């Protein structure tokens, strides 16, 4: 897996690799506004994940997920470290615990 210094650098690189869509996290699924599609945890895989820590504020920690859906749509999801852990389903929480193979 590659290493990036900034979130924007990683997003730019993933865009060139075909991760064109933006996903939003919901309680038990992710949503792509551009496609108007929802994907449950069993309908997508996390291909890569990158963590970024804010230099001036520890609350500015984010994680970037590179996602591929079961129908081949590729995109990204940006989330704060665990900020939504209590507001998402256990299945979604487990899915977001990316474990590289």
The three-state secondary structure class of 47 is strand
CA–CA dist 28, 25 (Å, integer): 8
Are 67 and 44 spatial neighbours (Cβ–Cβ below 8 Å)? Answer: yes
Q: What is the 3-state secondary structure (H, E, C) of 15-44?
A: HHCCCCEEEEECCCCEEECCCCEEECHHHE
Q: Which residues pair with 62 in a beta bridge?
A: 52, 80
pLDDT at residue 76, as a whole number: 98
Give residue limits of the domains in the chain.
Answer: 7-82
Note the pLDDT tens digit of each residue in 58-101.
556 889 999 999 999 999 999 876 555 568 888 988 898 866 55
Q: Cβ contacts of residue 85 below 8 Å, gap of 6+?
A: 93
pLDDT at residue 55, as a whole number: 64
Note the pLDDT tens digit of each residue in 16-65.
999 999 999 999 999 999 999 999 999 999 999 999 876 655 556 889 99
């Amino acid at each position: 897996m590659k290493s990036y210094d900034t979130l924007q650098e990683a997003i730019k690189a993933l865009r060139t690799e075909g991760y064109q869509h933006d996903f939003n996290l919901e309680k038990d699924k992710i949503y792509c506004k551009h496609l108007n599609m929802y994907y449950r945890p069993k309908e997508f895989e996390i291909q890569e994940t990158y963590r970024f820590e804010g230099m001036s504020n520890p609350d500015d920690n984010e994680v970037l997920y590179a996602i591929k859906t079961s129908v081949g749509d590729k995109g990204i999801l940006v989330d704060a470290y665990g900020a939504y852990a209590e507001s998402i389903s256990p299945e979604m929480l487990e899915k977001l615990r990316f474990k590289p193979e």
